[in-house]
C-alpha cells in the first residue's frame, strides 16, 4: 500500500521473504481476497504478467505497449464517470456489472526516447 509500483507476485514475495518464511500460494490467496472485496485489482500488462494495485482512490491506468510500464492516472470525478459507464453497459446489454477497470495503452517517455534515438540514427 505504501508503494506505487504495481508489483507482481514475485516482487511482493521478494519484499516479504525478508520478514520470515512465506510461500507464493499465501500471496496469491491474499491478493485474491483483497480483489474480491475491492481493495486491490489485478492488471495485465503487455508481457501478460499480472500486476496488482491497491485501489482505494479511484483512478485508471496507462500501460506502455513496449515495456509494460504501468502508471496511475487520477482524473476529476473519475468514479462518477466510471459509474455512468457501468450503468450504460447494463442498460445496453442486460448484464449486471460487478466491477470495472479502465486501461489506456501507449508508449512511455523512455520508450518514446528510445524510438526517437533509433529514428535519428537511421
Residues 69 and 122 in one domain: yes
Verify that 84 and 121 share a domain, yes or no.
Answer: yes
- For residues 99 and 85, membership in a common domain is answered with yes
Q: Report which of residues 44 and 86 the model is more confident about.
A: 86
Q: Which domain does 108 fall in, by range?
A: 58-122
- SS3 category, 89: helix
Cα angle 103, 4, 106 (rounded to 5 degrees) comes to: 30
Q: Domain containing 108 — which CATH number?
A: 3.30.1490.190
Q: Is 111 annotated to bind ligand?
A: yes
116 annotated binding-site participant: no
- Three-state DSSP class for residue 16: helix
| Band of pLDDT at residue 39, cut at 50, 70 and 90 | confident
The verdict on 1 and 23 lying in the same domain is: yes
Residues 64 and 44 in one domain: no
Q: Is 67 annotated as a binding residue?
A: yes
Q: Please give the pLDDT value at position 75.
A: 92
What is the pLDDT at residue 4? 67
Same domain, 102 and 49: no
Q: How many domains does the chain have?
A: 2
- What pLDDT, on a 0 to 100 scale, did the predictor assign at position 87? 95
Same-domain status, 70 and 122: yes
DSSP symbols for 23-88: -HHHHHHHHHHHHHTTSEEEEE-TTS-EEEEE-SS--EEEEETTT--EEEE--TTHHHHHHHHHHH
The reported pLDDT for the residue numbered 51 is 85
Amino acid at each position: 500500500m505504501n508503494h506505487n509500483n504495481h508489483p507482481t507476485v514475485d516482487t511482493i514475495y521478494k519484499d516479504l521473504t525478508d520478514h520470515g518464511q512465506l510461500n507464493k500460494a499465501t500471496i496469491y490467496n491474499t491478493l485474491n481476497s483483497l480483489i474480491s472485496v475491492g481493495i486491490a485489482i489485478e492488471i495485465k500488462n503487455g508481457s501478460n504478467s499480472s500486476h496488482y494495485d491497491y485501489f482505494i482512490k479511484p483512478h485508471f491506468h496507462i500501460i506502455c505497449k513496449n515495456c509494460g510500464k504501468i502508471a496511475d492516472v487520477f482524473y476529476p470525478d473519475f468514479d462518477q464517470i466510471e459509474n455512468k459507464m457501468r450503468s450504460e453497459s447494463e442498460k445496453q446489454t442486460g448484464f449486471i456489472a460487478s466491477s470495472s477497470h479502465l486501461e489506456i495503452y501507449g508508449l512511455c517517455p523512455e520508450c518514446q526516447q528510445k524510438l526517437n534515438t533509433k529514428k535519428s540514427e537511421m
